[in-house]
Structure 1
Amino acid sequence: MKELKQIQAHLFKAGAQQNDDALKKLMAFCTDPHHGNPHYAERVFTHIENPSLFVYNVMIKAYTKSGSFKRSLFLYDQMKAYGLWPDNFTYPFVFKAIGRLKEALVGQKVHGYVIKCGVEFDCYVCNSVMDMYADLGCVGDLRKVFDEMPKRDLVSWNILISGFVRCNRFEDAVRVYRLMRDEGSVRPDEATVVSTLSACIALKNFELGGEIHRYVSSELEITTIIGNSLLDMYSKCGCLSMAREIFDAMPVKNVICWTSMVSGYVNTGQLDEARLLFDSSPVRDIVLWTAMINGYVQFNRVDEAMALFEEMQMNRVKPDKYTVVTLLTGCAQLGALEQGKWIHEYMVQNRIAIDAVTGTALIDMYAKCGCIDKSFEIFSGLKERDTASWTSIICALAMNGKTSKALELFSQMKQASFRPDDITFIGVLTACSHGGLVEEGRRQFKSMKNMYQIEPKSEHYGCLIDLLGRAGLLDEAEELIEKIPNKKNEIIVPVYGALLSACRIYGNIDMAERFARRLVEIESSDSSVHTLLASTYASAGKWEDVSNERRKIKELGVKKAPGCSLIEVDGNVQIES
């Protein structure tokens, strides 16, 4: 640039500042991302009286590549206003800027200009139009442009596949990949493989993933990028032996490879293997540290997670919000209030923003540790709220028996134009159950489908059945059980157990016996079923039946599952059986 400025001074002194050939070379160098200076290019551009199409193109390209998308579009409009007609070198960068800005209407308008000026069949332009529609989420327009292209190259196919992946149309992406292989006009490359593997992971289509792996082994080289995708797929499907084989064979491993492998061991509960690999990694970023910490939290080894967090600080790795959210989740699971408070204080001292994400984690942690007032304080102080933060405080209040406050906040949430999701309604129905609000519970349950098009899940049915059981509406509760979709044991067992308790309270022996028989069929080794039924008989004074139930417990060899308690001492959680 130093020499260029000297040459430019000679040009301008000689009166050649409007020489088209000289300006082309000058602007091309100034906008070069490796050697140039975009700010200097702007200064030169302002001194050009009549910029040519070439000069506009290099400036639009420079602005787009530097992320100044609005400036790119401004120059595009200015160029047309000056009577210059864009060409096939202009549009690709204009479309990229439009896609990044999410300006769908502008994109359609510029696409119309492309058709009008006759460059719509230029492969380079068409590819950029497709990429724009992928960024905008317009999958119909994306596919239409592809279908109408007279000639497609490898980039066209790759943009279509990656576009479908970006728009979460994973099945469409897989279909296009198969069509590409069947047609045979172009061969898949690294970009094709990586995008298709992303779709396979999302669909859990590991059969196709294996097929792609075989194709790569025979036709391509397993580069670091392809290796990362294969590792991610095999780790997520639990095929760690295959993942490790690929990992060990990779000549060059970046931090993403190590993270994928560590995450794979974490997901299968092999924390010691994960830690050995973590310790062996030559380079660690915040994502890798968080993955290992998350593993400890996921399997209730919070003390080790905290120790690793301290080690991370000693290595001068600055945690991000996802790291502290992971630690707060672990504290919430164990009720480790002092550790949770310490993390909160750490966030304040290190200026980690308490936004919707971290705020939601803090609300949940304090609520599960019994500090509901602190949860509400955090929520009230949030400058930005989302559905998750509203849901978290509603569930927190419901869990702690603050029924009226939970329902009041639910009303405020709707007034603030936040749309409740299925988890929000679990909190609302739990609040109704704890408050004995039968009519309100029925109304909210119906509103899920009627107003918000949320299909009630088994958890929602469980909340409503619990409410009806507590209110003594046992017949209605029993009828509702038959409507529960996907009667999984982890949901249906607590429901029957809650109704069995309600039968004991309200003295409904016949119904209690029916529920007990169903529970025994599902959970024959659960002592609580026989104990609850014996208590129900005892409440009704049927002592002979009580003796029979106790005898069954002995005959079946059913033993009561030992309980355990958690206590936090000096910031460490102790578990006692």
Structure 2
Amino acid sequence: MSDGTHNRVPQVPDVITTFLSRSVQSRNLNAIKKLHCNLLRTGLLFSSVAVHAKLIVSYFSSHRNDGLRLSNFFPLLDLNDVLPFNILISDFSKGGFWSNALKTFCFMHTNGVPLDSYDMCSTLTASTSSQSFGLGKQVHALVGKSGWSSSVFVGSALINLYVKSSQVNDAAAMFDEMSTRNTVCANALLLGLTDAKMWTQVLEVARTMPRLNLSCDNYTYSSILRSCIGLSVVELGRQVHCRVIRNTHYIEADVFLQSSLIEMYGKCGLVERALRVFSAVGTRSRSDIVLWTSMLSVFGRNGYYKEVIETYEEMHMAGIIPDEIVFVTVISACARTGQVKLGIQYFESMTREYKLTPLEEHYGCLIDLLSRAGELDKALNLVDEMLRRGFIGSIGMWGALLSACLERGNLEMGKFAAKKALDMDPQNMGVYTMLSNLYARFGMWDEIELLRAMMKERGLNKDIGCSWIEVAG
């Protein structure tokens, strides 16, 4: 809409609201002001409540709003018409202006504007997104009083509120109380139970879905598969895989579901099955980094370090841009296979080729690599760089460095690495053992006695191992 449209403002509200949306996206406050003037001049501003509401949202969604107060606009709205308030709350919520959405709802409630399920859902979404869980619970009380408890959409929003506030039991109670439920409600509850690692409860909810005539979709299957991973019940995972195959459009369309299958088989040690799922993925899904990351993780977790490096090179040849997680897996594989030069090359390519900033995990993997290879001087230089950046390392990294110091006879660095490791895990028997052996190498028998006394004082004993297996499904 150009400057020469003073008398030719489109009279179709949809066109005006589309223009406002594009002006907001471009942060063009001047364009919004010009349209506002044209709407006033032609008398179209109050001809459509949708345009009026969208204009208010546009001002507050632009890059700067010149200190405008939302409360100044409320008197301009018809308190008997819920539509402009619906638009305000919905658009503010979708745009991330959650406090404005909540202020609008509070004004509605205080001034007797009739509430509907649309307002309730948008306000609950804003409460959840802004972590205003207390206000969300107050809205829940209003839901009961205003008679919207039977709305499946309001119910879904409430379940999501309780899930995101880590009140999973309340979310489950809300699901049980709903008179009408759909797959979205069930998935919201399943997601909360999965994030809380309540694996058994996930399976229980999933088993009730057919009885409630609720169909399973890709989100449902992903939650079930994550529970199978958590419980290490591979047979149930296979059954879910069969169900997924029957609904082929799910597996073909959803990368995260494919990833869940790969991870489920991988964490149960069935690498060949995981690879079979990965190999069967279509060309379009193969371009997604999530899928490659899952397969690399499966290889790395199960000791297929050569395959990690080969798969990374295949991914590189396919033009897939790696992320930080990929480099952690690949550098770690280089550490396990003793490929120092290749590991350093991958580490350097992160910043040089892919412009990624190394994280603590990357430093840890490379220090582990150098320590295992006996490159103690390089490892110590990297430790200094890591500490300067404010990272503290991991128990595995300090343990590897201590092991290298034991092998190379570096007493001072070994003591430093042991202290760092024990600060993180004071009960780690392996660290005490290596430190004792380091002292023994230098004939420091008094220090060994002090170390043993410390272990006895802390009640440290060698842990007894245990394992469990799935029997008869």
TM-score range, shorter chain: 0.7 to 0.9
CA contact (8 A) 2:202 2:223 kept: no
Q: CA deviation at 1:247?
A: 0.9
How far apart in 1 are the matches of 2:178 and 2:365? 47
Q: What amino acid does structure 1 have at the position aligned with 2:258? A: G
- Is 1:139 the counterpart of 2:38? The answer is no
Match of 1:379 among 278, 293, 316: 278
Q: What amino acid does structure 2 have at the position aligned with 1:181? A: L
What is aligned with 2:136? 243
Please list, as runs of the form range in 1=range in 2, the aligned pairs for 1:124-523 lying within 5 A after superposition.
124=13, 125-131=15-21, 133=22, 139-140=25-26, 143=29, 145-149=31-35, 150-151=37-38, 153=45, 155=50, 159=54, 176=65, 179=68, 181=70, 184=73, 189-200=85-96, 211=103, 214-219=106-111, 220-235=113-128, 240-250=133-143, 251=146, 252-253=148-149, 254-351=151-248, 353-355=250-252, 356-383=255-282, 384-385=284-285, 386-484=288-386, 492-523=394-425
Residues 242 and 415 (structure 1), Cα distance of their counterparts in 2 relative to 1, 3 Å cut: same
Residues 175 and 451 (structure 1), Cα distance of their counterparts in 2 relative to 1, 3 Å cut: same
Please list, as runs of the form range in 1=range in 2, the aligned pairs for 1:516-555 lying within 5 A after superposition.
516-524=418-426, 529-538=431-440, 542-555=444-457
Q: CA deviation at 1:179?
A: 3.4
Residues 469 and 126 (structure 1), Cα distance of their counterparts in 2 relative to 1, 3 Å cut: same
Q: CA deviation at 1:542?
A: 4.2
Query: Rg larger in 1 or in 2?
Result: 1
Q: What amino acid does structure 2 have at the position aligned with 1:374? A: R
How far apart in 2 are the matches of 1:487 and 1:213? 44
Q: CA deviation at 1:517?
A: 2.5
The range that moved more, 556-565 or 541-550, is 556-565
**TM-score normalised by L of structure 1:** 0.67
Identity, in percent, stands at 25
Structure 2 counterpart SS, 1:568: coil
Residues 140 and 245 (structure 1), Cα distance of their counterparts in 2 relative to 1, 3 Å cut: closer
Residues 120 and 368 (structure 1), Cα distance of their counterparts in 2 relative to 1, 3 Å cut: same
CA contact (8 A) 2:102 2:126 kept: no
Query: Mind listing any 5+ residue stretches in structure 2 that lack a counterpart?
Result: 40-44, 78-83
How far apart in 2 are the matches of 1:197 and 1:174? 17
How far apart in 1 are the matches of 2:115 and 2:408? 68
How far apart in 1 are the matches of 2:130 and 2:420? 35
How far apart in 2 are the matches of 1:482 and 1:146? 54
Q: CA deviation at 1:432?
A: 2.0
CA contact (8 A) 2:128 2:160 kept: yes
Q: CA deviation at 1:381?
A: 0.7
CA contact (8 A) 2:61 2:95 kept: no
CA contact (8 A) 1:513 1:533 kept: yes
How far apart in 1 are the matches of 2:462 and 2:38? 72
Q: CA deviation at 1:564?
A: 6.1
What is aligned with 2:42? none
Q: CA deviation at 1:407?
A: 2.6
How far apart in 2 are the matches of 1:122 and 1:294? 45
Give a deviation string over 1:519-543, Cα, whole Å, max 9, x none: 4445556565434423443566644
Please list, as runs of the form range in 1=range in 2, the aligned pairs for 1:113-124 lying within 5 A after superposition.
119=8, 124=13
The range that moved more, 180-189 or 529-538, is 180-189
How far apart in 1 are the matches of 2:467 and 2:177? 36
Q: CA deviation at 1:398?
A: 2.7
Q: Report 1 or 2 for greater relative contact order, CA contacts < 8 Å, sequence distance ≥ 6.
A: 2
Residues 232 and 126 (structure 1), Cα distance of their counterparts in 2 relative to 1, 3 Å cut: closer
Give a deviation string over 1:328-352, Cα, whole Å, max 9, x none: 1222234332221121112123445
- What is the root-mean-square deviation in Å for CA atoms of aligned residues? 3.7
How far apart in 2 are the matches of 1:559 and 1:266? 40
Q: What amino acid does structure 1 have at the position aligned with 2:452? A: R
What is aligned with 1:90? none
CA contact (8 A) 2:399 2:431 kept: yes
How far apart in 1 are the matches of 2:226 and 2:136? 29
Residues 452 and 302 (structure 1), Cα distance of their counterparts in 2 relative to 1, 3 Å cut: same
How far apart in 1 are the matches of 2:119 and 2:273? 47
Structure 1 counterpart SS, 2:215: coil
Q: CA deviation at 1:421?
A: 2.1
Q: CA deviation at 1:243?
A: 2.4
Give a deviation string over 1:14-69, Cα, whole Å, max 9, x none: xxxxxxxxxxxxxxxxxxxxxxxxxxxxxxxxxxxxxxxxxxxxxxxxxxxxxxxx
What is aligned with 1:43? none
Residues 511 and 418 (structure 1), Cα distance of their counterparts in 2 relative to 1, 3 Å cut: same
Q: CA deviation at 1:160?
A: 7.1
Give a deviation string over 1:541-571, Cα, whole Å, max 9, x none: 6444332212112335567788764432333
The range that moved more, 408-417 or 435-444, is 408-417
How far apart in 1 are the matches of 2:132 and 2:207? 32
Give a deviation string over 1:204-231, Cα, whole Å, max 9, x none: x7x6676555444334554322322332
Residues 177 and 376 (structure 1), Cα distance of their counterparts in 2 relative to 1, 3 Å cut: farther
Q: CA deviation at 1:486?
A: 7.5
The range that moved more, 500-509 or 478-487, is 478-487
How far apart in 1 are the matches of 2:423 and 2:32? 57
Q: CA deviation at 1:309?
A: 1.3
Q: CA deviation at 1:286?
A: 0.9
The total of aligned residue pairs comes to: 445
Residues 305 and 458 (structure 1), Cα distance of their counterparts in 2 relative to 1, 3 Å cut: same
